[in-house]
Amino acid sequence: MMKKEPSNILVVDDEPYICQLLARYLTAEGYNCRTACGGEEALKALESEIFQLVLADIIMPGMSGIDLLNIIRPLYPHVAVLMVTGVDDRDTGVLTLELGAYGYVIKPFERNEILINVANALQRRRLAILAKENTSSQTSGHRPITLKRRPIKIPTKEIVDLIKSGIDEASLMERFNLSAKALHSLLDQLVAAKVLTQSEVDGRISLAPGSVVIDFGQAKFPETTKEKPVISSTEAAKCIRSGMGDSSLMKRYGISAKGLRSLFRKLVASGVIQQSELDKRMSETHDWAVIDE
């Protein structure tokens, strides 16, 4: 039996002591570790080396752990990401999970807690890759070839001027051929770069419902409110399968980019559509964008 190669793990934290501590814990368990003191250094490491997991602090100067997560998920989809935070904030933890993190650990952490979370994340990663390969093989008859897509660069001044002019999200997506996910990431980058304030972004989100409730016929959802549009899951699935784009879906149901992502997650979680169906849509729009300063 061939010996399995140890996983490569990238530890990202602006505190050198934390990096060294985590690296020592993980190296002792047989993992290959590399450390980075911030998000920019981490991205350079990801470009030059293959990692199976990134362990990143959420609160860091410059590029935060959440900013880093938003970049890693679309560019390196096979890399699992675990977040570490010194603040016991459930909302922040849930946000990281919604953005694609495999979990989060609260400081001060125990050695065993870190090791268990790392092992679980790597196992979930292996199962997710295997499931995706099996699904693709069944539909195409051969293993897929994964191509890394290059992000589209959007001039900062142009996008900011349009946003401040009051243009709606659906029109922004049509203008730059962006998916809802890419637009959401772009807004986060503009806030991180201090070109826009979070209040300006929040004000835009309030113009359209940020979340949706799916109508599954007889199913009851106690959290339904008048502010949240109730969307038929069957109708939404038909629209998606007909090739309707993200911006058209947003206009049809009167929801924001955040609301559309919520709709996609709920449809996949309920089994109404498959993740592979959403993945095919990525080839029709830019699923990742960066500001070009």
Q: Is the pLDDT of residue 140 over 60?
A: no
206 part of a folded domain: yes
Q: Is the pLDDT of residue 2 over 70?
A: no
Tell me the percentage of the chain whose pLDDT exceeds 90. Answer: 25
Say whether both 101 and 183 belong to one domain.
Answer: no
- Average pLDDT (189-201) is 78
1 part of a folded domain: no
DSSP letter for each residue of 80-138: EEEEEESS--HHHHHHHHHTT-SEEEESS--HHHHHHHHHHHHHHHHHHHHHHHHHHHH
144 part of a folded domain: no
Half-sphere exposure of 179 (CA within 13 A, CB side): 19
How high is the pLDDT of residue 136?
Answer: 61
Say whether both 80 and 133 belong to one domain.
Answer: yes
- Average pLDDT (24-52) is 94
User: Which structure tokens are listed for 272?
Assistant: 């109404």
Domain span at residue 242 reads 152-292
How high is the pLDDT of residue 226?
Answer: 43
182 part of a folded domain: yes
Look at the chain and report how many structural domains it folds into.
2
Say whether both 111 and 189 belong to one domain.
Answer: no
Say whether both 213 and 103 belong to one domain.
Answer: no
22 part of a folded domain: yes
Task: Tell me which DSSP letter residue 37 carries.
Answer: S
Say whether both 134 and 158 belong to one domain.
Answer: no
Say whether both 88 and 161 belong to one domain.
Answer: no
62 part of a folded domain: yes
User: Is the pTM value of this prediction over 0.85?
Assistant: no
Higher pLDDT pick, 204 / 194: 194
How high is the pLDDT of residue 115?
Answer: 93
- Average pLDDT (211-222) is 45
Say whether both 80 and 202 belong to one domain.
Answer: no
Say whether both 183 and 249 belong to one domain.
Answer: yes
Say whether both 275 and 200 belong to one domain.
Answer: yes
Q: Is the pLDDT of residue 218 over 80?
A: no
For residue 216, what pLDDT band results from cuts at 50, 70 and 90?
very low
Average pLDDT, the chain: 78
Higher pLDDT pick, 230 / 292: 230
How high is the pLDDT of residue 223?
Answer: 44
- Confirm if 258 and 210 have CB atoms less than 8 A apart: yes
Say whether both 258 and 206 belong to one domain.
Answer: yes
Of 81, 105, 138, the residue at which a domain comes to its end is 138
175 part of a folded domain: yes
The CATH number of the domain where 43 resides is what?
3.40.50.2300
- Confirm if 11 and 37 have CB atoms less than 8 A apart: no
* Listed range (117-126, 230-239, 277-286) with the worst mean pLDDT: 277-286
Q: Is the pLDDT of residue 149 over 50?
A: yes
102 C-beta neighbours (distance < 10 Å), count: 22
Of 113, 138, 163, the residue at which a domain comes to its end is 138
Say whether both 196 and 250 belong to one domain.
Answer: yes
Of 138, 168, 183, the residue at which a domain comes to its end is 138
Tell me the percentage of the chain whose pLDDT exceeds 70. Answer: 77
For residue 122, what pLDDT band results from cuts at 50, 70 and 90?
very high
Say whether both 253 and 156 belong to one domain.
Answer: yes
Helices (H), the chain: 16-28, 39-48, 65-75, 90-98, 111-140, 156-164, 169-176, 180-192, 198-205, 233-241, 246-253, 257-269, 275-281
CA distance 173 to 175: 6
222 part of a folded domain: yes
